[in-house]
Chains A and B, each alone.
Chain A
Amino acid sequence: MDFLDPFFLEALVNGILLGGVFALPALGLNLVFGVVDVVWLCYAELVMVGMYTVWFLHTQAGWPLALAFAACLPVIALLGMLLHLLVVRPLLTSPPINQVLATGGVLFVLQGAATLVFSTEFRSLGVDMPPMEVGEVFVSGTKLAAFCAALLGAAVLWAFLKFTYVGTAIRAIARDREVMPLMGVDPRRIYLIASAVGGALAGLAACLLVVQLDVHPFVGLSFGPITFMICVMGGLGNMLGGFLAAFLMGLIISVGGFWGSTEFSYVVAFAFFILVMFIRPKGLFAR
């Protein structure tokens, strides 16, 4: 096996780029779980709605692409807040399984609504960038741009959590949800803000995905399950762990696809996830 084989290198590069795409929804999901302690089973469907938002504003309403991208973030952030207010907040004291099933219901609602409004047709944004050649390796321009945007988004999130007052409160409440209310932090407000930020991250992920994938109502199912597994592998609520796990999963899928078929690579990725759960149930990077 020649490790300098350009096709193998290409698979490696693509794996890292794919990891960047997985990283954003994994971050958002982890943020919401870490802070609110509820798993949004419908997270990939929020991304789907975001993809439709961009597609609609750009191709139907004729907005410039940058403006459509900019509008997508607040729209999905709002959707995240609505989800929190209408479904999650009333269930905060319910058993976790009820919370998960309720967000599972939202998954069906969003898929059904998207089918009603946009039909099951595959919609394409029709934007593409020329591939770049680095040495002997071809890199898709769109994927590279999406990768950079994902890293940028992660950096902005990190700065927000690290350097702002609200960010500090969010991190504090994730650490100890009993004590923080005594320190004058209103957990209801923090939960709502975290849901909005989680939604905005889904919106950003939607912007990056819509240039690479065609949109249809069930597109969420193609990356939703893997996003959950990435979060759990990194340790639910552990954002850095999830971020690293995203790249690991991207590499497994890409390199697995290089040696076998795409389906085979997903089987390997899921089997790897189950194995990780058995060996390190609290996640690969649990402290």
Chain B
Amino acid sequence: MSGIARDVALLALGVLLLGAVPLLSPPDYAMHVFITMALTALAGTGWAMMGRFGLVSFGHGAFLGAAAYAMALLWNEAGLTPWLGIPIGVAVAVAIGMLLAYPAFRLRVVGHYFALVTLAAGEIVRILIVALRDHTGGSLGMTPVQAPPGQQFLAMQFDKTGFWWIALIAWAGGLLAWRLLDRSMSSKALAAISEDEDAAASIGIRVTREKMKVTVISVALAGLAGALTAQYRQYLNPESLAGLGISLQIVFGAIAGGMYAPFGPTIGAIITIGLDEALRIGFGTEFTGGAPLVYGLLLVLFMLFLPRGIAGLFERRARRAAAKPAAERATA
């Protein structure tokens, strides 16, 4: 069996197994945590698609928000079903991403500067959502209109089991996109670009085009995660779906898990969401500052001691294991 067919089969098997979790009738709260983890993992996977090639975005929250608000506004104001609204929302996010990324890549805005341009773009989207308060509810947030009885499917308003399946499929789609990118020439080209843009261009790599490709994939996954999160929560808020806070949170999850391994952002999502919930239960509502405190401390410690994330630990071990037989062969 060829590599990609095996990966697809493994992913499908994984989704089927995880999809059976509701059969064990876990408590609603556990399902809520699992769904949140899957959707956060999707957003982190999207971010890491760019991040691992040195395209560090501090504005991915904007893409979550753009897709989510486009979808919700289409449902509330035009009655368009989220089944169509989500693809349109993702397209809106991708359009914004391309509008921003194309000139940035053409004019070679890189490194710190690229990060700050995306940060500014993220803030613009957040402020626009707040400013359009007649439609979006401003900083108070908005709720999608409840579907009339019998039309839940059209409105994509499911119970936790239904959303768990949707979230799982979306998450697996993100991993598949990662795998497909890894197998394509684009990933080699992007690796070369992140090492040295001039050298990559001089051997005939189309720098802007390759960067645009990975940006479109990354933004689409983030947009999908944003729209699904909004649809699952049935609540949209500019702070939790756009702006610097959520953008940094996505980055933290991907970094903590490890952005160079396909499962890294997923590990990161399990850790960050698990940590969020543990802190919320541990500290209660009286010590609201406890969560960000621990969060930030961990971010600093990760940067100091584990810059390649948790997945980096396994990576090192795997590489050592791979290196050993080779060394033995060499000495034999």
A contact residues vs B (CB 8 Å cutoff): 39, 87, 90-91, 94-102, 104-117, 120, 217, 221, 225, 228-229, 232, 236, 261, 263-264, 266-267, 270-271, 273-274, 277-279, 281
Assuming A104-B299, A263-B131, A277-B109, is B289 touching A112 (CB within 8 A)? Answer: yes
> Does any Cβ of A come within 8 Å of B14's Cβ?
no
Chain A interface: which of B72-80, B121-129, B145-153, B158-166? B121-129
How many whole Å from A268's CB to the nearest CB in chain B? 10
> Does any Cβ of A come within 8 Å of B263's Cβ?
no
Q: Measured between alpha carbons, how far is A101 from B299 in the docked complex, in Å?
A: 7
- The residues in B between 99 and 141 inclusive whose CB is less than 8 angstroms from any CB of A are 100, 103-104, 107-109, 111-113, 115-117, 119-121, 123-124, 127-128, 130-131
Number of B interface residues at 8 Å Cβ cutoff, please give it. Answer: 47
Assuming A96-B111, A105-B298, is B120 touching A270 (CB within 8 A)? Answer: yes
Q: Is the CB of B303 within 8 A of A267?
A: no
Residue in A94, A120, A221, A278 whose CB lies within 8 Å of B288: A120
Q: Is the CB of B127 within 8 A of A278?
A: no
Q: Is the interface of A mostly helix, strand, loop or mixed?
A: helix
B contact residues vs A (CB 8 Å cutoff): 54, 56, 100, 103-104, 107-109, 111-113, 115-117, 119-121, 123-124, 127-128, 130-131, 244-245, 248, 251-252, 255, 287-300, 302-304, 307
Chain B residue with the shortest CB-CB distance to A280: B107
Q: Is the CB of B300 within 8 A of A96?
A: no
Selected A-B contacts with CB under 8 Å, 15 pairs: A100-B112, A102-B303, A107-B296, A112-B292, A113-B293, A116-B287, A116-B293, A221-B244, A228-B119, A236-B112, A263-B130, A270-B123, A270-B124, A274-B124, A279-B107
Q: Which residues of A contact B104 (CB under 8 A)?
A: 277-278
Q: Measured between alpha carbons, how far is A92 from B294 in the docked complex, in Å?
A: 23
Q: Is the CB of A114 within 8 A of B289?
A: yes
How many whole Å from B8's CB to the nearest CB in chain A? 32
Other CB < 8 Å A-B pairs besides A87-B304, A105-B296, A261-B131, 9 of them?
A91-B304, A100-B112, A101-B251, A101-B255, A112-B294, A113-B293, A225-B244, A263-B128, A270-B124
Q: Measured between alpha carbons, how far is A264 from B121 in the docked complex, in Å?
A: 14
Chain A residue with the shortest CB-CB distance to B132: A263
Assuming A236-B112, A264-B131, is B289 touching A278 (CB within 8 A)? Answer: no
How many whole Å from B322's CB to the nearest CB in chain A? 25
Q: Measured between alpha carbons, how far is A52 from B66 in the docked complex, in Å?
A: 35
Q: Which 3 A-B pairs have the closest CB atoms?
A: A108-B296, A115-B289, A105-B299
Chain B residue with the shortest CB-CB distance to A260: B131
Assuming A261-B131, A270-B123, A274-B120, is B295 touching A112 (CB within 8 A)? Answer: yes
